[in-house]
Chain A
Amino acid sequence: MKKLINDPNTVVEEMMEGIVQAYPQYVRKLEGFNVLVRADAPVSGKVALVSGGGSGHEPAHGGYVGKGMLDGAVAGAVFTSPTPDAIYEAIKAVDGGAGVLLVVKNYTGDVMNFDMAKEMAEMDGIKVDSIVVNDDVAVENSTWTTGRRGIAGTVFVHKIAGAAADKGMALEEVKRVGEKVIANVRSMGMALTPCTVPAAGKPSFTLAENEMEIGIGIHGEPGTHRESVKPADEVADELLNKILVDLPYESGDEVAVMVNGMGGTPLMELYVINRHVASVLKDKGIKVYKTFVGEYMTSLEMQGASITLLKLDDELKGLLDAPSDTIAFKNFGR
């Protein structure tokens, strides 16, 4: 393992300190917890959004704390759900009196820990509700599994529900908007290389030089299957084919596109992927309203990418275009 760290046991705390040193105008850290909240939290009278999960997905989730997105982000150990006490502290710190919406990615541990924190905050009289993001089409949703995983599509939920809260919508409305995003967003990812959790010291799976893994999650877990490396256009086709039929996305639809790097992928390659995504969508008569290419929801140093489509209506378009000013997601009008 070759990593720029001091100690696997303190890597999350040290990262948090580095973020706060760099961006005090955006975030502050809660004493004793790996929680970042808006520098001006709580924002009085506004519904607050809290998200989070394991670390290793940077810039998620702390990078999305700020105006028009999240009010608080809770960081667990690398790829491990944060504990309810930390989430509870985040809720208390950001509640501005209008209630708090938790944005949770669909993993057993995350869902349970956020649920417990919700109950703890409710006992204090804070109004809390939650939504669960499950955009990954690689894992089938059936009675036999815990359900689909939440991956890069979560960032669209942060952006759009965050904009709804920023516009002064009530908790029920912000939740409705967040659920509308979840209902219309689908993603799928792939990897050329695995990643190494600092505390584990070795990769969670191995890939030969000529192999890639399709349908990976964002925690170094293996995907649905393995195949020989193909040209970027064919890889994009393989991911898109599963995504497009799932909602489905059809001719006449308008979408936002996210081509997300997994942490170790050159932007050059992400742009090459996006070129083909744009051309396939055009051929299918699906209009691209806005595109985001970059690292939004990563998996440490993994080389790979995910593609996310979000079907838009006028309400979602307006909220997607609304201003946001955070460390990793800035939007100043169209």
Chain B
Amino acid sequence: MTINNINVIDIIKVMANAIAENKEYLTELDSAIGDADHGINMDRGMQAVLGKLPSVEDKDIGTVLKTVGMTLVSTVGGASGPLYGTAFMRAGQAAAGKMEIDEKDILAIFEAALQGIKERGKAVAGEKTMIDALEPALKSYRDAVDNNIGLAEALNRAVYAAKEGMEYTKNIIATKGRASYLGERSIGHQDPGATSSYLLLQAAARVVNSL
């Protein structure tokens, strides 16, 4: 199965809606262990992205994703701006020039995005960050692709793994970001970044499943 540039633009729109619908929820999660602005910042960024999409409607998928990344970087601020911005910009590099992408292309895009987040945040799994949702999701997706399960089902498995990873962040101590100053007091709270990562993946899977 392949998806084209128009499908990717639809995915971005559904991602923006998912963030808008969960703006308060993300901010509430952040107020427990951070500085209470994750939902507000992400929504501001995704709304700015929506404004930019018409200018890239007929462009290749690499350009679309790079534009999303650049827009997030310049509008979100804090730590999530550079993290998600880098993820989308690296994803854009991996999809450069392509008008259509298949399971394997998406694997390369996903890998590039996660690698970007790890490098930017100098973080690894287990530190109560978005990586705790994204890394298990990538692993499930890769296994599914290796077993030729099909794009839609592979993405569903990735979303399931991301959800488990997101829930797992409740049980661990934050060692990166502002929440790290709380030490053990960060236990019991779900990481807002892992949560927004799950929501974005879920949005992507929804669009692909509807095709």
Contacts and interface: CB of A to CB of B under 8 A. Distances in A.
Given A108-B177, A108-B178, A77 B77 contact: yes
A294 to B, nearest CB: 28
Interface stretch (B51-59, B79-87, B131-139, B146-154): B79-87
Given A113-B82, A116-B86, A76 B175 contact: no
Contacts of A107: 178
In the complex, the 3 A-B pairs of residues with the closest C-beta atoms, listed nearest first: A112-B82, A85-B74, A109-B79
Contacts of A77: 77
A291 interface: no
Contact of B75 (A80, A83, A143, A146): A83
A145 interface: yes
Given A84-B82, A108-B79, A115-B82, A146 B177 contact: yes
Interface in B55-91: 73-79, 81-83, 85-86
A109 B172 CA distance: 22
Contacts of B180: 144-146
A221 interface: yes
A105 B200 CA distance: 31
A38 to B, nearest CB: 24
Contact of A116 (B73, B75, B178): B73
Contacts of A143: 175
Nearest to A143: B175
A108 B176 contact: yes
Given A112-B79, A115-B82, A115-B120, A83 B178 contact: no
Nearest to B184: A144
A81 B181 contact: no
A102 B63 CA distance: 29
A80 B73 contact: no
B73 A84 contact: yes
Interface of B: 35, 37, 73-79, 81-83, 85-86, 120-121, 173, 175-178, 180-181, 183
A99 B148 CA distance: 51
The CB with the most chain B CB atoms within 10 A, among A86, A113, A115, is that of A113
B174 to A, nearest CB: 9
Contacts of B176: 108, 146
18 contacts: A83-B75, A84-B74, A84-B81, A84-B82, A108-B121, A108-B177, A108-B178, A112-B79, A112-B120, A113-B77, A116-B82, A116-B86, A139-B181, A144-B173, A144-B175, A145-B180, A145-B181, A146-B177
Interface string A109-126: 100110110000000000
A86 B77 CA distance: 11
A144 B77 contact: no
Contacts of A145: 175, 180-181, 183
Contacts of B175: 143-145
Contacts of A221: 181
Given A108-B176, A115-B82, A85 B183 contact: no
B119 to A, nearest CB: 9
Contacts of B177: 108, 146
A190 to B, nearest CB: 17
B56 to A, nearest CB: 18
A36 B74 CA distance: 18
Contacts of A79: 35
A79 B82 CA distance: 17
Contact of B81 (A113, A139, A146): A113
Nearest to B78: A109
A68 B96 CA distance: 44
A112 B84 CA distance: 11
